[in-house]
């Protein structure tokens, strides 16, 4: 069995898309993969409630309770690794997890840490991607699933989706259209990883 741990900070819509795809497509039967846990750094993350309703183990690890980023990441690593299986590294998926991870954390999960970012990387890494795309006059925006490296919003690209930027777009309307594509490409990229 390959265990997947999903990290969230908010509503968890990408997490839900992955969980639903795993059930619908039979990841457990096809590839011996299951979403073993959902962990959040925020106790009020709405995605936790949804995950519990699906029977998925949930945990909260409040980053504010730790003296440093390193101390939090060490505790997070210990929490995730409890779901490890001998000879089967945990696949860690960042789904709206609003924390910059330390190089030590990234190194620990090298090749097994995946993120989704709401832009066509390498363009617009960081925050406020949709407004920045509009301000730059971009004709297209989108989303990128990528393996995580120590450099923020970089790493090998696994999947991308392109969305046109309309003349009438606001950051919110563009974000909503991009999000529908995120929900498609993230589960697809994870399924492709599981087949390797």
Q: Which residues are catalytic?
A: 117
b/e string for 150-171 if b means 16 or more Cβ within 10 A? eeebebeebbbbebebeeebee
* Six token digits for residue 24: 């619908």
* Six token digits for residue 95: 């789904």
Distance CA(34)–CA(42), nearest Å, equals: 23
Distance CA(121)–CA(114), nearest Å, equals: 14
Rg of the Cα atoms in the chain: 16
* Six token digits for residue 37: 């846990």
């Amino acid at each position: 069995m390959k265990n997947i741990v999903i990290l969230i900070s908010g509503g968890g819509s990408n997490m839900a898309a992955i969980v639903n795809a795993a059930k619908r497509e039979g990841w457990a039967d096809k590839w011996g993969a299951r979403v073993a846990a959902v962990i959040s750094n925020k106790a009020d993350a709405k995605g936790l409630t949804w995950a519990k309703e699906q029977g998925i183990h949930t945990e909260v690890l409040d980053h504010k309770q730790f003296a440093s980023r390193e101390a939090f990441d060490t505790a997070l690593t210990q929490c995730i690794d409890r779901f490890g299986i001998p000879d089967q590294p945990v696949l860690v998926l960042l789904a709206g997890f609003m924390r910059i991870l330390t190089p030590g954390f990234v190194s620990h999960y090298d090749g097994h840490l995946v993120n989704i970012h709401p832009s066509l990387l390498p363009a617009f890494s960081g925050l406020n991607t949709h407004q920045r795309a509009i301000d730059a006059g971009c004709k297209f925006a989108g989303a990128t699933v990528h393996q995580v490296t120590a450099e923020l919003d970089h790493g090998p690209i696994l999947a991308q989706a392109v969305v046109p930027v309309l003349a009438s777009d606001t950051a919110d309307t563009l974000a909503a259209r991009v999000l529908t594509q995120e929900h498609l490409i993230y589960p697809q990229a994870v399924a492709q990883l599981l087949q390797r």
